[in-house]
Amino acid sequence: MTDIHAFIDDKVKNNDVFLFMKGTPDFPQCGFSGQVVQILGYLGVDYDSANVLESPELRDGIKAYTNWPTIPQLYVKGEFIGGADIVREMFQAGELQTHMQQAGIPVKQTA
């Protein structure tokens, strides 16, 4: 296992909700990352994140880790949920909130 793979694995498995994104939650550096940050903020979900722009190795590594070509990538309890489009669609349908609650993640807003 490479160092970057081990880093990603650690973040995904040791945080209830983890977001690999471009930028930071306070300063997203792409619209898609910003959308996911807004959704998580609206739901009041506690999460940790990593800025893939700080490391080309991380940026490429996360894509290889999930075999998913885009960033952001959201994980809940070690499970890859998806990128911005999937997260947005799940949120709009109420599925993201339900998924979080079923995983034992407190959600402040449900609709």
40 and 17 in contact (C-beta within 8 Å)? yes
Residue that has been written with the tokens 């893939």 in this structure? 52
**Residue 30 is assigned to a ligand binding site:** yes
58, 63, 64, 68 alpha-carbon torsion, rounded to 10°: 160
In order of 31, 50, 76, 79, 108, the CA distances from 100 in angstroms are 23, 20, 7, 11, 11
- Which residues participate in the annotated binding site? 30
- Which residues participate in the annotated binding site for [2Fe-2S] cluster? 30
